[in-house]
Amino acid sequence: MKSFLKIFAVTFSLFILGSCQNFDELVKNKNLPTSVPPSLILTGVLSHMNDQNAWDGKQGSQSAAQFYVSTYDYYGTNNYDQQPFIQTTDNFEYAGALQNLVQMDIESKNAGKPALNPYSALGKFLRAYYFNLMSQKMGDIPLSDALKGEAGTAPKYDTQKQVYTQILAWLEDANTDLTQLIANKDASLTGDIYLDNDLTKWQKVVNSFTLRVLVSLSKKESDTDLNIKQKFSNIVSNPTKYPLLSGLSDNLQFTFNAAYNPYPKNPTSLGRDGTRENVGGAFLDLTTSLKDPRTFIAATPAPAQLIAGKLFTDYTAYVGAPAGLSMSALGTNAQGGSYSYVNALRYSFDFAGSKAEPAIIIGYPEQCFNIAEGINRGWATGNAATYYTNGITASMNFLGITEGSSITVGNLTGTTVYGSVSNISISAYLAQPSVQYQGGAAGLTQILNQKYIAFWQNSNWEAFFNQRRTGVPTFSTGAGNGNGNKIAIRWQYPRAEADANTANYKAAVQSQYNGVDDLNGKMWILQ
Classify residue 203: in a domain, yes or no. Answer: no
> What pLDDT shows up at residue 72?
86
- Domain containing 411 — which CATH number? 1.20.120.840
Dihedral in degrees, nearest 10, Cα atoms 438, 441, 443, 446: -130
What distance in Å separates the CA atoms of residue 77 and residue 71, rounded to the nearest whole number? 7
Classify residue 461: in a domain, yes or no. Answer: yes
Burial group, residue 464, by CB count within 10 angstroms (0-12, 13-18, 19+): buried
Decide: 501 and 5 in contact? Cβ < 8 Å: yes
Classify residue 456: in a domain, yes or no. Answer: yes
Classify residue 401: in a domain, yes or no. Answer: yes
How many domains are there within the chain? Answer: 1
Decide: 43 and 132 in contact? Cβ < 8 Å: no
Helix (H) or strand (E) holding 68: strand 68-70
Closest to 112 measured CA to CA, from 37, 213, 60, 49: 37
Classify residue 426: in a domain, yes or no. Answer: yes
Closest to 273 measured CA to CA, from 58, 507, 40, 42: 58
> What pLDDT shows up at residue 6?
37
> What pLDDT shows up at residue 150?
54
Q: Kindly provide the residue ranges of all beta strands, DSSP E only, lying in 370-445, ordered along the sequence.
A: 407-410, 417-421
Helix (H) or strand (E) holding 298: helix 294-298
Strands 359-362, 417-421: pairing kind: unpaired
Classify residue 125: in a domain, yes or no. Answer: no
Instruction: Write the DSSP symbol of residue 473.
Output: S
Classify residue 306: in a domain, yes or no. Answer: yes
DSSP 213-273: HHHHTGGGTT-TTT-HHHHHHHHHH-TTTS----SGGG-EEE--BTTTB--SS-GGGIIII
What distance in Å separates the CA atoms of residue 335 and residue 275, rounded to the nearest whole number? 8
Domain region containing 319: 267-484
Helix (H, G, I), strand (E, B) or coil at 492: coil
> What pLDDT shows up at residue 16?
39
What Cα–Cα distance (Å) separates residue 451 from each residue in 209, 371, 386, 463, 479?
Answer: 15, 11, 14, 8, 27
What distance in Å separates the CA atoms of residue 263 and residue 259, rounded to the nearest whole number? 10
* Model-wide pTM > 0.85: yes
Dihedral in degrees, nearest 10, Cα atoms 171, 174, 176, 182: -140
What Cα–Cα distance (Å) separates residue 215 from each residue in 132, 210, 279, 490?
Answer: 13, 9, 28, 18
What distance in Å separates the CA atoms of residue 103 and residue 435, rounded to the nearest whole number? 49
Classify residue 297: in a domain, yes or no. Answer: yes
> What pLDDT shows up at residue 18?
38
> What pLDDT shows up at residue 273?
63
pLDDT means over runs of 10, the chain (527 residues): 35 38 42 78 92 58 93 84 79 89 95 96 98 97 84 85 98 98 97 98 98 98 98 98 98 92 85 80 98 98 98 98 96 96 94 94 98 98 98 98 98 95 98 98 98 96 97 96 94 90 96 97 98
> What pLDDT shows up at residue 461?
93
